[in-house]
């Protein structure tokens, strides 16, 4: 068994552990496909180019990206969304599935860089949602391919999506064919001149991405080149062996200590790898995800930590690596004391209750809140959802205010607090650990702190 197949097993087991007690792995559940391994050839294979046609059926469209930053949606950046059917033969059987492309409306605004993802089985385009401000501000192209969980889209509106038919055994080959299509002359975005493309995933879609890695080793374009030029698994704490293209892994405070930190960073061909551990980061971006989980569902105040702002840091470094050869900085890992009796955490915590080490940000360095993982579900609408609110609360972080008296002693006034917060933000931007496009959004949080 090769190392990445072992990684696949560990990833699936980690997902099972996180979602224990749910029905999502049951027969017909959205993650049931993880129990079936994709079929991948043993020998190097030039991947087929699938056919592509616009989806034109009647009725409501499936909204896979409701979790965008308020006031920073598709229309605000002059982007457009186009849906396509792609069809072909994978794992020896015919398939048809849905591809969604989010792109600049004007060709001249395109960067030529593509962020591809397998749709999360919950039905979400999380690669786009969790990086949308950065993606659209930069002119990048987001491509979403429905693999596991596609049946729910067909059932949602059979008039529009009735042609969808795809099995778990086809997942990896379909992703390979979809990527090859994007880079081909038949590409629906050929006018945007796509030149580099990475495959991104988070949580369950990160597991789909990890399961794709053996396919990356055998499927090629007609000229023998790679289909995907880089990989970015996030909210993933499994051991993932490097491949022959750059990869940045982003575990969260839900996963620290599960094994991600055992893989060492590397720069040489075949080991171009980074692990980026951001202090304060939760498995799920609950801040802008209120279409799926609300405060009424969860016992503790939902974390307002801006997950998108820091996932986008890692994405930016990966794109620079694959496009320009710019080697990204290395980062320290979260410090672990592996002792829970002192503070209930395996991490080494500071006086505010946030972890030491890792990639820093002003939310933990000029802290007004303690960020804790695994919120508690208290609502009554967990049943009947693809992934119920009970699970989404568990995957979310929650925040506890630092005592006002402590903040007054430390900063004396909110004005001083905001100034110190912005000074730290400016330092991190200069060091490449925060993106200027999020500066004003982050500072708005600082100005809302009261004590």
- Give the Cα separation of 371 and 356 in Å (integer): 12
At residue 387, the pLDDT reads: 56
- Give the Cα separation of 50 and 95 in Å (integer): 10
At residue 332, the pLDDT reads: 95
- Which residue, 252, 298, 305, 306, is CA-closest to 391? 298
What are the residues facing 53 on neighbouring strands? 85
- Count structural domains, the chain: 1
Q: What angle do CA 286, 146, 254 make, to 5 degrees?
A: 30
- DSSP class per residue in 156-179: H-HHHHTT-B--GGGHHHHHHHHH
Q: What is the DSSP letter of 82?
A: E
- Which residue, 231, 182, 230, is CA-closest to 209? 231
What are the residues facing 377 on neighbouring strands? 298
- DSSP class per residue in 13-65: HHHHHHTTTSSTTSTTSTTGGGGSPPP--SS-EEPPPPEEEE---SSPPP---
At which residue do the structure tokens 């171009």 appear? Answer: 272
Residues 6+ apart with CB under 8 A from 288: 67, 68, 69, 70, 129, 308
Measured in whole angstroms, the distance separating CA 109 from the mean position of its chain's CA atoms is: 24
User: Taking the alpha carbons of 214, 220, 225, 228 in that order, is the dihedral positive or negative?
Assistant: negative
| Domain range enclosing 9 | 3-447
For the question of whether the overall pTM of this predicted structure is more than 0.95, the answer is: no
- DSSP class per residue in 409-424: HHHSSHHHHHHHHHHH
- DSSP H or E stretch at residue 212: helix 204-216
Q: What is the DSSP letter of 351?
A: T
Per-residue pLDDT of the chain (451 residues; tens, 9 = 90+): 455 555 444 444 444 444 444 444 445 555 666 779 999 999 999 999 999 999 999 999 999 999 889 999 999 999 999 999 999 999 999 999 999 999 999 999 999 999 999 999 989 999 999 999 999 999 999 999 999 999 999 999 999 999 999 999 999 999 999 999 999 999 999 999 999 999 999 999 999 999 999 999 999 999 999 999 999 999 998 889 899 999 999 999 998 866 556 889 999 999 999 999 999 999 998 898 888 888 988 999 999 999 999 999 999 999 999 999 999 999 999 999 888 778 778 899 999 999 999 999 999 999 999 999 999 998 765 444 445 778 899 999 999 999 999 999 999 999 999 999 999 999 999 999 999 999 999 999 999 999 9
- Give the Cα separation of 47 and 227 in Å (integer): 9
At residue 1, the pLDDT reads: 46
Contact between 145 and 200 (Cβ < 8 Å): no
Contact between 150 and 100 (Cβ < 8 Å): no
């Amino acid at each position: 068994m090769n190392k990445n197949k072992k990684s696949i097993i560990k990833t699936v087991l980690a997902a099972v552990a996180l979602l224990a007690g749910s029905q999502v792995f049951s027969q017909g559940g959205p993650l049931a496909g993880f129990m079936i391994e994709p079929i991948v050839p043993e020998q190097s294979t030039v991947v087929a180019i699938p056919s592509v046609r616009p989806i034109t059926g009647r009725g409501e469209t499936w909204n896979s990206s409701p979790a965008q930053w308020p006031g920073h949606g598709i229309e605000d950046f002059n982007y457009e969304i186009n849906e396509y059917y792609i069809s072909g033969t994978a794992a020896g059987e015919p398939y048809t599935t849905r591809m969604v492309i989010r792109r600049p409306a004007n060709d001249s605004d395109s960067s030529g860089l593509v962020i591809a993802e397998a749709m999360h089985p919950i039905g979400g385009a999380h690669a786009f949602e969790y990086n949308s401000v950065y993606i659209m501000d930069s002119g990048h192209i987001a491509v979403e391919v429905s693999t596991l969980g596609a049946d729910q889209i067909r059932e949602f509106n059979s008039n529009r999506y009735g042609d969808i038919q795809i099995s778990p055994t086809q997942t990896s080959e379909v992703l390979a064919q979809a990527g090859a299509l994007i880079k081909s002359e038949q590409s629906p975005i050929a006018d945007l001149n796509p030149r580099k493309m990475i495959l991104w995933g988070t949580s369950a879609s990160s597991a789909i991405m990890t399961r794709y890695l053996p396919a990356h080793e055998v499927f090629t374009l007609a000229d023998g080149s790679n289909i995907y030029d880089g990989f970015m698994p996030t909210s993933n704490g499994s051991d993932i062996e490097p491949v022959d293209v750059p990869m940045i892994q982003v575990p969260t405070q839900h996963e620290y200590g599960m094994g991600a930190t055992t893989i060492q960073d590397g720069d040489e061909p075949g080991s171009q790898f980074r692990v980026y551990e951001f202090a304060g980061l939760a498995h799920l971006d609950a801040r802008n995800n209120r279409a799926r989980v609300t405060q009424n569902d969860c016992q503790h105040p939902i974390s307002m930590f801006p997950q998108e702002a820091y996932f986008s840091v890692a994405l930016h470094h990966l794109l620079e690596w694959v496009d320009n050869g710019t080697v990204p900085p290395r980062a320290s890992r979260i410090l672990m004391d592996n002792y829970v009796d002192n503070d209930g955490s395996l991490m080494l915590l500071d006086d505010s209750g946030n972890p030491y080490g890792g990639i820093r940000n002003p939310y933990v360095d000029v802290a007004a809140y303690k960020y804790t993982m695994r919120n508690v579900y208290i609502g009554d609408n967990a049943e009947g959802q693809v992934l119920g609110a009970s699970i989404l609360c568990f995957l979310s972080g929650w925040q506890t205010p630092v005592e006002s008296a402590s903040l007054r002693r430390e900063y004396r006034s909110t004005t001083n607090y905001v100034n110190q917060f912005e000074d730290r933000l400016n330092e991190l931007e200069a060091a490449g650990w925060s993106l200027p496009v999020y500066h004003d959004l982050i500072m708005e949080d600082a100005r809302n702190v009261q004590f």
